[in-house]
Amino acid sequence: MSDEDSDSALDGVAIIGMAGRFPGAPDVAAFQANLLAGRDSIDRFTDAELEDRFGPEERADPAFVRARGIIQDVENFDAAFFGMKPREAALTDPQHRVFLEICWQAFEDAGYDPARIDGAVGVFAGASMNTYFLHHLAQDRAMLDRFTSQFQVGEYATLMGALGDTLATRVSYKLNLRGPSMGVLTACSTGLVAAAQAVQSLLLHQSDMALAGGVSITFPQRRGYMAEDGAMCAPDGVCRPFDAAANGTVFSAGAGVVLLKRLTDAVADGDHVYAVIKGQAVNNDGADKVGFTAPSVGPQAELVMTAQAVAGFEPRSVGFVECHGTATPLGDPIEVAGLTRAFRAGTDDVGFCALGSHKGNVGHMDAAAGVAGLIKAALAVQTGIIPGTPHFKRANAELALETSPFFVNAAPIPWPAIRGPRRAGVTALGIGGTNAHLCLEQAPETAPSVAVEAPVVLPLSARSAAGLAAARAALAARLRAPDAPALGDVAQTLRSGRRHFAHRSAVVAASLEDAAARLGSPDAATGEAPATPRPVVFMFPGQGAQDPAMAGALFREEPVFRAAVETCAAALRRTGGVDLIEALYGAAPGNAASIRDTYLAQPAIFAVEYALAQLWMDRGVRPAAMIGHSIGELVAATLSGVIGLEDAIQLVAERGRLMSALPGGSMLAVRLAEAELVPLLRGEVALAAVNGPALCVVAGPNDAIAALQRALEAREIGCRLLHTSHAFHSPMMDPILPAMREISGRMRFAPPAIPYVSTLTGDWIGDGECQDPEFWAQHARAPVRFAQGLAALRARMPEAALLEVGPGRTLVTLARQAGGRPVAAASLPEAGEDASPRDTMAQALAQLWVAGAEVTWPAIPGARRVSLPPTPFERTRHWIDAPASAAPPAAAVIAAIPPAPLPETAPTMLDQRLATAHAGIVAAIESLSGEAMPAGDAETSFLELGFDSLLLTQLAQQLRKRFAIPLTFRQLSGELCSLAKL
């Protein structure tokens, strides 16, 4: 394509997420399945099921119809998820509650966590009249008088729950969205007009992303209606759009929302795109019609032509129009006439464009109808399958379809054979004449997903163990589906596009099949992360942990690791050292004997551990602190900035060369505490390391160590000879100390930028000591106090996750032996273990994340966000029951939670009065919040307990009445801000 064509192809607004609840469908996937199956989702009620107030005579009337589309489970809501108190949730219009939930699900469907979106996110939405307030809360005249008398200046909780104006702003507040947030109310066209306004906001760069939709849930849900033939409502409860037998619509509940983004941004960010909105128009019929509620041909034709002109669509290129299609005798012919006039402005062809209306499936969802049509059309454009229109048998003759550009399909069909991308239109017409038409186009093709290198960590979380189990099962089912997304796309979405909750699971998989199986396994690791992310501590092992060709697979397969090793090897060559890469990973890599040679072992350990640390940081795990065992401490010092990499390599190389030139010696691990072991040492045998409360290492000449080993074994004291060439950290190192002081004295040291514990002192490194040449000389001679250092680290960071960054699991084992059940993981397998380094690292990453460690997941190159099952909500009943029709209405209140027991009666009048005050305040708080006052929270401020300004205002009002004192909101948020102070 030319540059101009390329720019044009990326014009428009992408639909990147969608969510909804519809009659017979708890989500969009079920809605689409019902559409394709041609399922009528209208409920038919028995008299026992009806909740309306029609009397027996009215229900016996032949014109009474017991049919309506309903939404299940609306009395239940996950209030805690959205930070709402029980009473606040119960007072809030269920339309708002459902819309909150589907907005969150739309973000998850798009692969975004609202908290991690940079830029302004707008909200454009509308709802039907709040009949929950009328039917459930306004239970008697006294309640209404109380509410209206205090309207705008009192009864705030009821007002905020009932106010329709707050639908969009409540979403912005609860999800912390900072773009334009406004209600849209145009009756039946609300949902689609909201989408058109969102498109404008995006194109004007007022928003970077935008939610748009509508909701209609009115009460009582299970109600009938009186129908009149030829009027708006179907006498038989069946909606038949475009059919010769069409005689009216059926009203229903529903909710839908789409998440929109400029197409250029969506493509750049690797978003999944359902379809692209290329043009839109909104107008009003004006007075050119027979009545306020009637439609009009001319304005509807102008609407469609304007939208197509904005989109640049030739009418002949459009293969499907999702109509308003209410199946009313007046409405359908006028709508089709308007469409025909609009299309005839560009083509004389007939029968090339399908017409449809979801109202044949789910009825008329009022404020949600337009966005439901947009969702249906976007899915049709995406899949290339146009759903049929149920109940269509023979076209209404007044539509004149045989001479029009249109046809109606009763069953699903493939997209009509039209050259170019799939294109569709969506129309919504509102009572009062505000109409909207949107033009959709097939999303541009994207490059196939890049195959990700296995293994891959898939993190999954929820707010409870039950929710996590449900999330695992849903994701496993999705990964088994024929159209399952690529493994890398799944990982990218779960890592960067989901909120990470406390209850966690992570599986390591090499394929979709592997992932699904592991998700379904009861043996998969799960855990609960703490409220505050765990810091991660890097632990670097010392000499003795090395093995031939250690981490060779990482050198071959991980560019970050390889680059770091090559940097170390180049620095080592400049010191005149060996060719480290050839020795470790060459054609004839070092054997077990040569790798134990101190001259090679110490630079090799340093390089592998330094490179492994770089790889961990590239994978999103950064150390909050470090500890290194002997030579491992030099890796910590380098990463901390105490010493530069070039100087560190030189110091390690010289240290290894000097040690290698010394006479050989031995080292012996002994199962005794330091205090028990030291009295047994003689001659040149010295304490070399204290690795645990009852695990030490001694070093000295070979014969002396052999004699000590025999003596210990004779006393049945556990001991083991270590595979070392010299007696490190013993008097046998004394001859090299002057050279070590001289070498260190030539180098520049700096204070640590990342704190670490020195195993020379067994304490946190100080700014002065790490810059002293004597420190680095003694570092090769003095005992390694790892146990003491680990204790100091755990004292300051008791919740830290410990990660061994080096070969083997020696330090992980020592940390676990020290007690306290730490979270500890190893980076590399033990020598001889049948596991790959990549697998071991992936398992360690999964273990760290499940335990709540801080992980900044990096982007997977070439991966895209994809639609995955949402995080399960954990709904409970938050509801005020409507009064029974047979009894006088009761006051619209929630049953108060019983107050906390009064304290025992004290002998003084003051104590009695304090007890009475305490009980009265607690009762008022519990009545307003709808939940029990936590015991022991008398000193905690009301704000910390989650009481907002509205609740405190009401509390002040109640306490003024109860105690006849001039208490104010200002006092409750200031000097009287806790139960005890009050």
Asked if pLDDT for residue 907 goes beyond 70, the answer is no
Q: What is the pLDDT of residues 35-50, one digit of tens each?
A: 999 999 999 999 999 9
pLDDT in tens, 49-90: 999 999 999 999 999 999 999 999 999 999 999 999 999 999
624: left (phi over 0), alpha (psi -120 to 50) or beta: alpha
Q: Would you state the structure tokens that stand for residue 500, as one six-digit string?
A: 């990470």
Tell me what pLDDT residue 906 has.
45
The overall average pLDDT reported for the chain is: 90
pLDDT of residue 746: 92
Dihedral pair phi/psi, residue 243, rounded to 5°: -85, 155
- pLDDT at residue 133 is higher than 50: yes
N- to C-terminal Cα distance for the chain? 73
Q: Say if strands 526-528 and 503-509 run parallel, antiparallel, or are unpaired.
A: antiparallel
CA distance 260 to 120: 12
SS3 134: helix
Exactly one of 128, 172, 449, 630 is catalytic; which is it? 630
Confidence of residue 545 (pLDDT cuts 50, 70, 90): low
Note whether 13 and 199 are within 8 A (CB): yes
> How does pLDDT run across 551-594, given as a tens digit for each residue?
889 999 999 999 999 999 999 998 877 888 888 887 655 444 45
Q: Are 405 and 347 in contact (CB under 8 A)?
A: yes
* pLDDT > 70 in the chain, percent: 94
Is residue 973 over pLDDT 80?
Answer: no
Distance, CA of 345 to CA of 385 (rounded, Å): 27
- Report the range of poorest mean pLDDT among 235-239, 529-533, 575-579, 659-663: 575-579
Alpha carbons 604 and 579: distance in angstroms, whole number: 10
Residues in the chain: 982
* pLDDT of res. 587: 61
Of these residues, 188, 323, 696, 770, which one is catalytic?
188
Backbone angles phi and psi of 754, in degrees to 5: -115, 125
d(CA 394, CA 245): 8
Q: 670-673 long-range CB contacts below 8 Å, 24 or more apart?
A: 670/695, 670/696, 670/697, 670/698, 670/712, 670/717, 670/718, 670/719, 671/695, 671/717, 671/718, 671/719, 672/696, 672/717
Alpha-helical runs (H) found in 624-736 = 632-640, 645-660, 674-677, 702-714
Tokens at 578, concatenated:
């060996």
pLDDT tens per residue across span 175-210: 999 999 999 999 999 999 999 999 999 999 999 999
Q: How many Cα atoms occupy the beta-carbon half-sphere of 859 within 13 Å?
A: 8
Kindly state the average pLDDT of the residues 366-390: 98
User: In whole angstroms, what is the distance from residue 777 CA to residue 745 CA?
Assistant: 10
324 is catalytic: yes
pLDDT of residue 156: 63
Predicted pLDDT of residue 110: 97
In sign, the C-alpha dihedral spanning 948, 463, 127, 24 is: negative
Q: What is the DSSP pairing of strand 719-721 with strand 121-127? A: unpaired
Mean local confidence (pLDDT), 626-635: 96
Q: What is the mean pLDDT of residues 349-369?
A: 97
Across the range 881-900, mean pLDDT stands at 50
Q: Strand pairing of 254-262 and 209-216?
A: antiparallel
Question: What local confidence, expressed as pLDDT, does residue 521 receive?
Answer: 87
Check pLDDT > 70 for residue 354: yes
Catalytic residue flag (residue 977): no
pLDDT of residue 707: 95
Structure tokens at 412: 């699903």
Provide the pLDDT for residue 186.
96
State the pLDDT at residue 2: 38
pLDDT of residue 101: 98
Considering the candidates 324, 391, 729, 779, report the single residue annotated as catalytic.
324
Is 205 assigned a catalytic role? Answer: no
Instruction: Tell me which of 272, 364, 391, 729 is the catalytic residue.
Output: 364
Rounded Cα distance, 735 and 967, in Å: 81
**Quick one: pLDDT at residue 885?**
63
pLDDT band, very low/low/confident/very high, at 598 (cuts 50, 70, 90)? confident
Lowest mean pLDDT among 230-234, 276-280, 719-723, 748-752: 230-234
> Does 451 or 104 have the greater pLDDT score?
104
User: Which of 163 and 727 is assigned the larger pLDDT?
Assistant: 727
- Which token pair is 781? 């001679």
Whether 673 shows a pLDDT value over 90: the answer reads yes
The string of pLDDT tens digits covering residues 326-345 is 998 888 999 999 999 999 99
Do β-strands 686-692 and 695-700 pair in parallel, antiparallel, or remain unpaired? antiparallel
Tell me the sheet residues that pair with 503.
Answer: 462, 528
Question: What is the reported pLDDT for 153?
Answer: 73
- Please report the sign of the dihedral spanned by the C-alpha atoms of residue 170, residue 176, residue 181, residue 186: negative
How much is the pLDDT for 802? Answer: 97
Phi first, then psi: what are they for 562, rounded to 5°?
A: -60, -45
Q: Provide the token pair at 138.
A: 């306004």
| Mutual angle of helices 645-660 and 632-640, in 10-degree steps | 160
Q: What is the pLDDT of residue 865?
A: 95
Task: For residue 141, name the pLDDT band (cuts at 50, 70, 90).
Answer: confident
Alpha carbons 753 and 637: distance in angstroms, whole number? 9
630 catalytic per annotation = yes
Q: What is the pLDDT of residue 950?
A: 63
